[in-house]
Amino acid sequence: MDACTDVTICPMTEADLDEILLIESASFPHPWNRTHFHDELASAHSFPLSAFDGRGRLVGYICPMLILDEGHILDVAVHPEYRGHGLGKLLVEHVLAACRQRGAEFVSLEVRPSNSEAIGLYHRLGFVETGRRPRYYHDGEDALLMEYIFREEEEDTDAV
């Protein structure tokens, strides 16, 4: 895959979970299990999304939730063979736009301080570091808390 021009992002379904669980296991030391994804599919606050390439292969996914004006990204991963082509950026940008459309004032997420690839992506998209949650992960690693705050002035400028 050379670019993300041929990618479709759509609501995640039960039928996607076998492939998603494979990507999840290849992506995290403590991967979510099927129940985690079922819970996201069933939650009224969540709108999990899957990304497919032009041949219908599931290449990534993202699990956002929105409560009142607070968006949160719980999980995001791209198939290892498809990384570095802008798909992660596309998924996060899609969620930022969807959260904004649904009334979010900001979108937050937790990330391991050792995950420099993800942190670099979030910085480039405009997320800022807002805190640290000590020993947040199962193995005792802290979590970095990052937030994207929507600015009305920028949106006004973009609209001109």
Residues at the site binding ligand COA, with contacts judged by CB under 6 A: 3, 27, 76-78, 83-89, 111, 115, 117-118, 120-121
Q: 110 an active-site residue?
A: yes
Residue nearest to ligand COA (CB): 88
For the CB of residue 151, give the shortest distance to ligand COA in the complex, in Å.
22
- Please give the Cα distance from 21 to 2 (Å, whole number): 24
Q: 122 an active-site residue?
A: yes
For the CB of residue 77, give the shortest distance to ligand COA in the complex, in Å.
4
Q: Which is nearer to ligand COA, 29 or 103 (CB)?
A: 29
For the CB of residue 59, give the shortest distance to ligand COA in the complex, in Å.
9
Q: Which is nearer to ligand COA, 60 or 98 (CB)?
A: 60
Residues whose CB falls within 8 Å of the CB of residue 116, separated by 6 or more in sequence, listed in order: none
Structural contact between residues 95 and 104, judged by C-beta atoms closer than 8 angstroms: no
Q: Is 151 helix (H, G, I), strand (E, B) or coil?
A: coil
Q: Which is nearer to ligand COA, 117 or 155 (CB)?
A: 117
Q: Which of 70, 110, 129, 141 is catalytic?
A: 110
Question: How far is C-alpha 145 from the chain's CA centre?
Answer: 14
| Distances, alpha carbon 110 to alpha carbons 14, 46, 88, 122, 152, in Å | 25, 17, 16, 11, 24
DSSP 59: E
Give the catalytic positions in this structure. Answer: 110, 122
